[in-house]
Amino acid sequence: MTKSRMINTKFWEDDYTSNLDPIEKLLFLYLITNTATNISGVYELPLKRIAVETGIDREMVENIIKRFSKDEKIFYEKGWVIVKNFIKHQNQKSPLVKKGIENELSNAPQDLLVKYGIDTLSHLNLIKSNLIKPNLTKPNTINSNTSVKKIAISTFEEFWNEYPAKKNKKKAKEKWLKLKPALHKKIIADIKERNLKDRQWLQGYIPHPTTYLNGERWEDEIDTRIISNGKEKSVTILD
């Protein structure tokens, strides 16, 4: 069955897509227009098929998708493509569109939707308003706010274990639970990298966990200058 996909002409002027190189533009367009796509922007598609249909080497496909994922635009895991914010660009006032979104999201891995923050709040609101009936037959189905919170608590514990300055865990946890789920993975990766490379951190100048989160310090550049001496430093917690 053929499908129609309308592409806004602003695609070529968009701050993000306009800065992609030609091959990246091709893959981005492919991932939002290929025959496997649906109205939710979440669908199954093997990497092999992506490579064959685009003519892009599979390894390059993987590398480009990693960039899309890092930029929080398009994610790929377990054979599923997840286009973030795809639902926001659909006509959700239409009952038919809502029904289409309902059908597609109910069949998708709910844990991946939450993990990658793919319109998570809208998705949960659809569940609450009974527009989506959670598929309870799937082993990884996320069917309530409680389940979402459990995942956030789990990622917080991972963050806390990695963070070298453990101060005021309660406040840090409260802040963590208010962050978008899509940021959790990014923040943990930043902490791991800073623990290995950041000159200030290796010298012991580390902010409170809550200060780090409130200030969105994961967006700061990492100071990779080489430390002049190899003496072990004690951890200094900064306000």
Domain ranges of the chain: 9-128, 151-238
Residue 80, helix vs strand vs coil: strand
HSE value, Cβ hemisphere, 13 Å, CA-based, for 184: 26
Q: What tens-digit pLDDT sequence spans the chain (239 residues)?
A: 566 777 778 888 888 988 999 999 999 999 999 999 888 888 999 999 999 999 999 999 999 999 999 998 999 999 999 988 787 777 667 777 777 777 787 788 878 877 776 554 455 455 444 444 444 444 444 444 556 777 888 889 999 999 998 888 999 999 998 888 888 989 999 999 998 888 888 888 889 999 999 999 999 888 877 655 555 444 444 54
**Residue 37 and residue 225: Cα distance in Å, rounded?**
45
What digits encode the pLDDT tens for the residues 195-219?
888 888 888 888 999 999 999 999 9
Nearest to 182 by CA among 109, 122, 110, 120: 120
For residue 20, CA distances in Å to 24, 63, 73 come to: 6, 13, 12
Placement of tokens 């789920």 in the chain: 181
Run of H or E residues at 83: strand 80-83
Strand 80-83 to 236-238 pairing = unpaired
Q: What is the pLDDT of residue 128?
A: 46
**Dihedral angle of Cα 29, 15, 20, 47, to the nearest 10 degrees:** -40
- Taking only Cα atoms into account, the Rg of the chain, rounded to an integer number of angstroms, comes to 21
Q: What is the pLDDT of residue 137?
A: 43
- Say what the pTM is: 0.50
Helix crossing, 95-107 with 120-128: angle to 10°? 100
CATH class name, domain 9-128: mainly alpha
HSE value, Cβ hemisphere, 13 Å, CA-based, for 222: 15
Q: Token pair of 183, please?
A: 């940021």
**Residue 55 and residue 143: Cα distance in Å, rounded?**
39
Nearest to 169 by CA among 156, 154, 182, 183: 156
Q: Token pair of 180, please?
A: 């978008």
CB-CB contact of 151 with 114 (8 Å): yes
Nearest to 49 by CA among 40, 32, 61: 61
Q: What is the pLDDT of residue 149?
A: 76
228 Rama sector, left if φ>0, alpha if ψ -120 to 50, beta otherwise: alpha
**Residue 64 and residue 31: Cα distance in Å, rounded?**
12
Q: What is the pLDDT of residue 34?
A: 92
